[in-house]
Amino acid sequence: MPNIRFTEKPLSDWMRGEAADSEIVISSRVRIARNLQHLPFPILATNQQSEEALQRLTDILQYDDLGRFGTFHTLKISELDEIDKQVLVEKHLISPNLANESRNGAVLISDDESVSVMINEEDHLRIQCLYPGCQVREAWERATVIDDAFEAHVDYAFDDRRGFLTSCPTNVGTGMRASVMMHLPALVMTHQINRILSAVSQVGLTVRGIYGEGSEAVGNLFQVSNQITLGQTEAEIIENLHGVVLQIIEHERSARERLMNESMLRITDRVMRSFGILSYAAVLESKEAAQRLSDVRLGVDLGILERPSTAAMNELNVMTQPGFLQKSFGDKMNTGERDMYRAKLIRQKLGTTL
Amino acid sequence: MLCQECNKRPATLHFTKIVNGEKTEFHICETCAKEKGEMIPGTPNGFSIHSLLSGMLDFESSTKSQSPGHSGPQNLQCKDCGMTYAQFSKLGRFGCPSCYQYFDSRLDPLFKRVHGSTSHVGKVPVRTGGRLKVKRQIDDLKKEMQQHIVQEEFESAAELRDQIRKLEKEMIEE
Ligand SMILES: [Zn+2]
Ligand SMILES: [Zn+2]
């Protein structure tokens, strides 16, 4: 029986920490892709070869190197049911890609869920470190130490000229993707978001919705990450990202200030209405829930509302996703049932007993 | 610049599409881009990085001369995993680490376009990357030596030259 404690509670321990700029930056994440020498990448690997990769990489857990990041638990993807997989995706502990189609895929998760190591995703090894708030440097520092711990025991595919060799040409070199999740409601409301996003894309960064490629930027959440992995050092990439994120934070802050100065009544009304709807609705579609939660989060940040806490908001963002709803209220649900349970769960969380 | 689709809103997205070597530029607003389901991060149905990549790779193969029988890109094949360049350009993925060597002659333009660069300057594996570290050290020393020479500081330059020789000798002996 696989260890499914990670799918039972919505909020990872690491998300509880209060951090700098956390009213705008929700989390920081660094992922590094590595591959073993002399083995084909997972897309071409035979069952036996991917089994070998899994074996060699999980064997490393028996050494002490990783121990200082807490105890790691190994979950084999094939042993998880659909809903548990979906919950792990919703908590960003695994990628949709690993959940869907990987042979001998597995994930190693640290106790507090701040480190997750995917095996046999697109690459043999993907080390991911998560931090609350704007702590992209800290996330990189931890990721690189974990990387070294693996590298002490296996030979990576590395080339003097091209760097770390990855299956996709967009990851070659550093193999590093650093990203920061931002809540930018004021930039959206003041119609400045497009201008900012296109400026960001001109400095080698990309912006996407919360669940990565092809998903919608629901609830005014945007993920900013580096696009370039070759020809820049990790430190340069991190500093570039960090610098741009700080600028976006400034823009969001001044947009919030402007909203409060110029249309305080309208903003207050919007926040209160959203809080009211979340408190009393009997049916909530995911899109509406995300938008209302965004309004309430903004309301708390602006001092219009006193609660819920940031941690409770983060919790709600995860809890109202389809996988987690089904986890909490019973297996297969259709969309209508999900909308009903979503509303119920939010009412409970906000302490509305009607 | 106004959006080329609606001619009303300002164009906020600018991109270049390459199909069969034909370059087309687009300048559109977010609303129109969403309707067309194109490309912006965060739209469902938006075209993915991989279709974009494979477009670039096709472009690569269609513009260069393909003398039959000769080592045109389509004839390149990785001897380790068996992936051909044609498969690679369709899939947008390498099959194994050796593909990088077998397709090497075609990769510089691709990396240049995706990353703006062709070689790695970042982290080096601790255990197996010792040689590269020394090599980079030598490169740095050479640059420094060149500066001293330009400024006619020959004594310092000579010191650096000796250091470089020592490092080079160590590398050969390893
Ligand atoms: Zn338009
Ligand atoms: Zn190959």
Residue to mutate among A165, A188, A221, with most B CBs inside 10 A, is A165
Looking at all shown ligands, the one closest to residue B34's CA atom is: 1
pLDDT at A321: 84
Contact criterion met (CB below 8 Å) for B74 and B57: no
- Among the ranges given (A121-135, B8-22, B128-142, B148-162), the one the predictor scored with the smallest mean pLDDT: B8-22
Residue A26 labeled ligand binder: no
Pull the structure tokens for residue A146: 């974990």
Mutate to test the interface with B, among A140, A153, A170 (most CBs of B within 10 A): A170
- A101 to each of A95, A105, B116, how far by Cα in Å? 11, 8, 32
List the shell of residues around ion ligand 2, using CB closer than 5 Å: B 78, 80-81, 83, 95-96, 98-99
Encoded tokens for A40? 């084909």
Q: Which of A159, A230, A233, A286 to mutate to test the interface with B (most CBs of B within 10 A)?
A: A230
Ligand nearest to the CA of A38: 2
Surrounding ion ligand 1 within 5 Å at CB are B 3, 5-6, 9, 29, 32
More confident residue, A329 or B12: A329
All residues of chain A having their beta carbon less than 8 Å from the beta carbon of residue B97 are 35, 37-38, 41, 157, 159, 165
Report which of A277, A278, A266 is spatially closest to residue A304, judged by C-alpha positions: A266
Mean pLDDT, rounded, for B139-168: 88
CA A148 to chain centre: 23
Asked if the interface predicted TM-score (ipTM) of this complex is over 0.95, the answer is no
Quick one: pLDDT at residue B11? 72
Helices of type H across B42-84: 49-63
In chain A, domain spans: 1-15+27-173, 263-350
Kindly state whether A165 is in contact with chain B, defined as any CB-CB distance less than 8 angstroms.
Answer: yes
Closest alpha carbon to A151 in A168, A134, A164, A170: A164
pLDDT value of residue A287: 84
Which ligand lies nearest to the CA atom of residue A45 in the structure?
2
Digit-coded pLDDT (tens) for A274-332 = 999 999 999 999 888 999 999 999 999 999 999 888 888 888 888 888 888 888 887 77
Q: How far is the CA of B6 from the centre of ligand 1 (A)?
A: 4
Distance B30 CA to ligand 1 centre (A): 7
Q: Which ligand has an atom closest to residue B10 CA?
A: 1
Cα atoms in the 13 Å half-sphere on the side-chain side of A233: 6
**Residues pairing with A178 in the sheet:** A30
pLDDT in 10s for each residue of chain A, 354 residues: 455 677 777 777 777 767 778 789 999 999 999 999 999 999 999 999 999 999 999 988 877 677 777 788 899 999 998 888 988 998 889 998 899 876 899 999 998 889 999 999 999 999 999 998 999 999 999 999 999 999 989 999 999 999 999 999 999 999 999 999 999 999 988 888 888 887 887 788 888 755 433 444 578 888 899 989 999 999 999 999 999 999 999 999 999 999 999 999 999 999 999 999 999 999 999 888 999 999 999 999 999 999 888 888 888 888 888 888 888 887 778 888 889 999 998 998 888 655
Q: What is the pLDDT of residue B120?
A: 94
pLDDT of residue A208: 75
Q: Do B95 and A40 touch (CB under 8 A)?
A: yes
Residues near B119 by beta carbon (within 8 Å), at least 6 away in sequence? A161, A162, A163, A230, A231
SS3 state of residue A39: coil
Residue with the bigger pLDDT between B14 and B17: it is B14
Which residue in B95, B97, B122 is closest to A157 by CB distance? B97
Task: Centre a 10 Å sphere on the Cβ of residue A265 and count the other Cβ atoms it contains.
Answer: 7
Structure tokens at A109: 């998760």
Residue A5 annotated in ligand binding:
no
pLDDT of residue A298: 95
**B110/B126 Cα distance (integer angstroms):** 28
Mean pLDDT of chain B: 74
Residue of B nearest to A236 (CA): B122
CATH number of A1-15+27-173: 3.30.590.10
Q: Do B81 and A40 touch (CB under 8 A)?
A: yes
- The alpha-carbon gap from A352 to the nearest alpha carbon of chain B, in Å, equals 33
pLDDT in tens, B42-79: 333 334 444 455 555 554 444 444 444 445 566 789 99
A96 near B CB under 8 A: no
Asked whether residue B36 carries a pLDDT value surpassing 60, the answer given is no
Nearest residue to B98 (alpha-carbon basis) of A103, A35, A122, A51: A35
Asked whether residue A210 is marked as a ligand-binding residue, the answer is yes
The reported pLDDT for the residue numbered A209 is 57
Q: What is the pLDDT of residue A183?
A: 93
The pTM score is: 0.80
Give B38→chain A minimum CA distance, Å: 11
pLDDT computed for residue A277 by the predictor: 96
pLDDT tens digit sequence for B85-124: 988 988 889 999 999 999 999 999 899 988 989 999 999 9
Residue B37 or A238, more confident: A238
> How much distance in Å is there from the Cα of B137 to the middle of ligand 2?
31
Of B122, B107, B109, which is closest to residue A158 (Cα–Cα)? B122
Q: Check if A332 contacts B (Cβ < 8 Å).
A: no
The pair phi, psi for residue A330, each rounded to 5°, is: 105, 155
- Tell me the C-alpha distance between B174 and B172, whole Å: 5
As a whole number, mean pLDDT of residues B156-169 equals 88
Is the CB of A282 inside 8 Å of chain B's CB atoms? no
| Long-range contacts of residues B163-170, Cβ cutoff 8 Å, at least 24 apart | B164/B138, B167/B134, B167/B137, B167/B138, B167/B141, B168/B138, B170/B134
What one-character DSSP code corresponds to residue A92?
T
